[in-house]
Structure 1
């Protein structure tokens, strides 16, 4: 569907240095009004809203035709923000933040139970990332944490330009920050940091070798702990369809058209859905008992 002139007016130019600041300020005002924005990240465009505005987060999910079983991740402006959003942050996670943020690393941590937010069915965790993008960081610095996922209708390719996002999301978004095309490169690497040692949930732009190089004696696990602990644990044979455990959330692998978020953790499918071999990888399992 072609965008109407009124929708085109929602495109805010960030490519011109003289117009970037006013555009970011306008987008920040939209967020404070409880509305939805599209913003560029270091890989693709994302759609998001104030992470603490329950209605606005629901609007993000509605814009994507997505349910609560697929919660969005949260983007932060700086590592210090993490302490207000998560508890029991292990030292190895702080080391990883210092080494790789801003950048393509998403950390799944235990959410602060006192926060008045509702991102969906998160099993008591929150996925956090600091993007390596000047426009995104400028907006985050203005408004604080944003619940952000890829800017597309679920099932369609993620937008690599603001115009592509506008074509898909239309009037569901109040403002589109346009900073030119994004590459749609490798997604962020996702680590489960809710335990004593990190676990790779999705391989992405950062390799296990790069991560291990800064972890010292802390082990990096290549599979969820519940699988590694099984006496007969082994990798499935090629062509085998793996059915996740109840409550497990899975994420499409790079190259698929189902929300290839390229660094924006949270583009997920409900568990128990059969998929082609290699199309999904486990992102996180049920929260560990207290």
Structure 2
């Protein structure tokens, strides 16, 4: 049965998180607040649950959802070939408005859609989201709206669009919080030898370059010295864009 919980009330928040954890374990979808807008989440390791998420939104497997994680040390369990520069950005901007596209761990039993072996990861700066992620582990999360509609800024607005396709709605008040801009996460493709921004967002290029000076801005072309070495896969630096498609208005969003 679909239920909404007011997370501003401690007891109701605890009941809501418990119900949401149970729903995730049963391959059902939940709606949760994040630091950008509301997201619809499902067990990242359940193909059935991810399919339900995509169907609820009215999108295809060509638009795979990003994955939200509860802590930075989950990075190495989900991604491989994480460069020192990618790690610097994660350490600087997680939790927060940065999504990193990385090579997915090939040994993991998951199916997020047509990702070309990549995964988009983010750690959100939202207490309710992090509490739930701590209980459930990584969640596939996309903006809580039907494709083509405006992303929901409250759980109530998400319910108007997603209705009974979601088991639990965690209402945490308006997102983003009052006084904060509703800017999506910045997405950085970290699958190649040079990090590059593939979507501008909450973290500016200037801030990224404070930690990794060589990050390429949106549309910038690498110099000859930054080009992939001969014999490397020319798809390597572009495959990551598939992992985000309309790309995580919640995450990542």
The reply to whether TM is greater than 0.5 is yes
Cross-structure match for 1:18: 11
Which digits, 9 at most, give the CA deviation of each residue in 1:231-275, with x for residues without a partner?
xxxxxxxxxxxxxx99964856xxxxxx8815425xxxxxxxxxx
Check if 1:219 corresponds to 2:207.
no
Partner of 1:167: 160
Match of 2:203 among 206, 211, 228: 206
Decide which of 35, 41, 46 is 2:28's aligned counterpart: 35
Equivalent pairs, count: 235
Residue 179 (structure 1) aligned with residue 172 (structure 2): yes
**Distance (whole Å) between structure 2 residues aligned to residue 246 and residue 87 of structure 1:** 15
Aligned mates of 1:212, 1:228 — CA distance in 2: 15
How far does residue 132 in structure 1 lie from its aligned partner after superposition? 0.3
Secondary structure in 2 aligned to 1:23? helix
Aligned to 1:190: 187
For 1:201, what is the secondary structure of its paired residue?
strand
Residues 180-222 of structure 1: per-residue CA shift (max 9 Å, x gap): 111271111110111222101111111111111112xx51112
CA positional deviation for 1:126: 0.2
Look up the match of 2:131.
Answer: 138
CA distance in 1, matches of 2:77, 2:183: 29
2:120 aligned counterpart, secondary structure: strand
Greater displacement, 114-123 / 184-193: 184-193
Q: How does 1:250-289 map to 2 (within 5 A)?
A: 261-265=249-253
Q: 5+ residue gaps in structure 1?
A: 1-5, 231-244, 253-258, 266-290
2:143 pairs with one of 142, 147, 150? 150
Distance in 2, Cα, partners of 1:56 & 1:200: 30
Larger Rg: 1
Q: TM-score normalised to the size of structure 2?
A: 0.86
Q: 1:161 to 1:194 in 2, by over 3 A?
A: same
Alignment correspondent of 1:278: none
Note if contact 1:108-1:126 (Cα within 8 Å) is conserved in structure 2.
yes
More helix by share: 2
Q: 115, 119, 124: which one pairs with 1:126?
A: 119
Counterpart position of 2:103: 110
* Structure 2 contact 142–248 (Cα < 8 Å) conserved: no
List structure 1 segments (4+ residues) > 3 angstroms apart after TM superposition.
227-230, 245-252
The SS at the match of 1:34 is coil
Alpha-carbon distance in 2 for matches of 1:166, 1:145 = 23
Alignment partners' CA distance in 2, 1:247 and 1:19: 39
More relative contact order in 1 or in 2 (CA 8 Å, sep 6+)? Answer: 2
Q: Are the structure 2 counterparts of residues 223 and 160 from structure 1 closer, same or farther at C-alpha, using a change threshold of 3 Å?
A: closer
Q: Secondary structure at the match of 1:27?
A: helix
1:167, CA displacement in angstroms? 0.6
Pick closer, same or farther for the CA change 1:203–1:142 going to 2, 3 Å: same
TM-score between both structures, scaled by the size of structure 1: 0.76
Answer yes or no: is the 8 Å Cα contact 2:66–2:251 preserved in 1: no
Query: Separation in 1 of the partners of 2:211 and 2:150?
Result: 34
Q: Is the 8 A contact 1:186 1:263 kept in 2?
A: no
Cα 1:14–1:246 shift into 2, 3 Å: closer
The answer to whether residue 94 in structure 2 is matched with residue 101 in structure 1 is yes
